[in-house]
Amino acid sequence: GAGVSQSPRYKVTKRGQDVALRCDPISGHVSLYWYRQALGQGPEFLTYFNYEAQQDKSGLPNDRFSAERPEGSISTLTIQRTEQRDSAMYRCASSRELAGAYEQYFGPGTRLTVT
Protein backbone atom coordinates (compact mmCIF):
# COMPACT_ATOMS: atom_id res chain seq x y z
CA GLY A 1 0.00 0.00 0.00
CA ALA A 2 0.93 3.65 -0.17
CA GLY A 3 3.40 4.87 2.37
CA VAL A 4 3.91 8.30 3.90
CA SER A 5 4.32 10.93 1.23
CA GLN A 6 5.83 14.38 1.50
CA SER A 7 5.87 17.33 -0.82
CA PRO A 8 7.76 18.99 -2.21
CA ARG A 9 10.72 16.61 -2.19
CA TYR A 10 13.10 19.51 -2.70
CA LYS A 11 12.60 23.16 -1.86
CA VAL A 12 15.03 25.99 -2.45
CA THR A 13 14.01 29.32 -1.00
CA LYS A 14 15.57 32.66 -0.28
CA ARG A 15 16.25 33.83 3.22
CA GLY A 16 13.26 35.63 4.67
CA GLN A 17 10.64 33.75 2.67
CA ASP A 18 7.98 31.53 4.23
CA VAL A 19 7.76 27.85 3.30
CA ALA A 20 5.11 25.20 3.83
CA LEU A 21 5.99 21.52 3.87
CA ARG A 22 3.28 18.96 3.45
CA CYS A 23 2.92 15.45 4.87
CA ASP A 24 0.34 12.90 3.81
CA PRO A 25 0.36 10.02 6.34
CA ILE A 26 -0.61 6.42 5.74
CA SER A 27 -4.38 6.17 5.51
CA GLY A 28 -5.94 5.49 8.89
CA HIS A 29 -2.85 6.35 10.91
CA VAL A 30 -3.84 8.47 13.87
CA SER A 31 -0.44 9.80 14.96
CA LEU A 32 1.79 12.04 12.86
CA TYR A 33 5.29 13.25 13.69
CA TRP A 34 7.69 15.82 12.30
CA TYR A 35 11.47 15.49 12.56
CA ARG A 36 14.38 17.49 11.20
CA GLN A 37 17.65 15.89 10.15
CA ALA A 38 20.94 17.66 9.58
CA LEU A 39 23.59 16.04 7.43
CA GLY A 40 25.38 13.26 9.29
CA GLN A 41 23.04 13.44 12.28
CA GLY A 42 20.08 11.42 13.42
CA PRO A 43 16.58 12.86 13.08
CA GLU A 44 15.59 15.43 15.70
CA PHE A 45 12.01 15.53 16.97
CA LEU A 46 9.98 18.66 16.27
CA THR A 47 6.32 17.97 17.07
CA TYR A 48 3.57 15.37 16.89
CA PHE A 49 -0.20 15.03 16.59
CA ASN A 50 -2.80 12.52 17.65
CA TYR A 51 -5.66 13.03 15.21
CA GLU A 52 -5.89 16.82 14.86
CA ALA A 53 -4.57 17.62 18.33
CA GLN A 54 -0.99 18.74 18.67
CA GLN A 55 0.31 16.73 21.63
CA ASP A 56 3.90 17.87 21.93
CA LYS A 57 5.63 20.79 20.25
CA SER A 58 8.61 20.92 22.53
CA GLY A 59 11.02 20.30 19.67
CA LEU A 60 10.03 23.29 17.56
CA PRO A 61 13.15 25.48 17.70
CA ASN A 62 11.41 28.87 17.86
CA ASP A 63 8.15 30.62 17.06
CA ARG A 64 8.94 30.81 13.34
CA PHE A 65 8.05 27.12 13.19
CA SER A 66 4.47 25.94 13.39
CA ALA A 67 2.50 22.87 12.39
CA GLU A 68 -1.11 21.97 11.92
CA ARG A 69 -3.24 18.95 11.10
CA PRO A 70 -6.73 20.43 10.90
CA GLU A 71 -8.68 17.34 9.82
CA GLY A 72 -6.53 14.72 11.45
CA SER A 73 -4.95 13.58 8.21
CA ILE A 74 -2.64 15.79 6.13
CA SER A 75 -0.25 17.99 8.07
CA THR A 76 1.63 21.14 7.16
CA LEU A 77 4.85 22.35 8.75
CA THR A 78 5.33 26.06 8.16
CA ILE A 79 8.56 27.97 8.60
CA GLN A 80 8.23 31.74 8.52
CA ARG A 81 11.04 34.14 7.63
CA THR A 82 13.42 31.31 6.78
CA GLU A 83 17.05 31.50 7.76
CA GLN A 84 20.05 29.62 6.39
CA ARG A 85 20.26 27.55 9.58
CA ASP A 86 16.82 26.12 8.73
CA SER A 87 18.37 24.19 5.82
CA ALA A 88 17.91 20.49 6.53
CA MET A 89 15.93 17.39 5.63
CA TYR A 90 12.46 17.54 7.14
CA ARG A 91 10.92 14.14 7.74
CA CYS A 92 7.38 13.15 8.56
CA ALA A 93 6.31 9.86 10.12
CA SER A 94 3.00 8.29 11.04
CA SER A 95 1.83 5.45 13.24
CA ARG A 96 -1.47 3.63 13.41
CA GLU A 97 -2.12 3.65 17.13
CA LEU A 98 -2.22 6.09 19.99
CA ALA A 99 0.05 5.82 23.00
CA GLY A 100 1.88 2.55 22.90
CA ALA A 101 2.38 2.39 19.15
CA TYR A 102 5.84 1.09 18.48
CA GLU A 103 6.41 1.50 14.80
CA GLN A 104 6.70 4.84 13.10
CA TYR A 105 6.67 4.83 9.30
CA PHE A 106 8.81 7.55 7.80
CA GLY A 107 8.33 9.43 4.56
CA PRO A 108 11.05 10.27 2.04
CA GLY A 109 11.54 13.76 3.46
CA THR A 110 11.68 17.27 2.06
CA ARG A 111 15.15 18.69 1.49
CA LEU A 112 14.98 22.39 2.33
CA THR A 113 17.76 24.70 1.22
CA VAL A 114 17.69 28.34 2.28
CA THR A 115 19.98 30.56 0.24
What does the per-residue mask of binding to another protein show for 26-45, with x meaning CB under 8 A?
-----x-x-x-----xxxxx
Q: How far is it between the farthest Cα atoms of the chain?
A: 40
Quick one: which of 75, 82, 94, 95 contacts another protein (CB under 8 A)?
Answer: 95
What does the per-residue mask of binding to another protein show for 49-88, with x meaning CB under 8 A?
-x----xx--x-----------------------------
Whole-Å CA distances, 3 to 42, 57, 84, 95: 21, 24, 30, 11
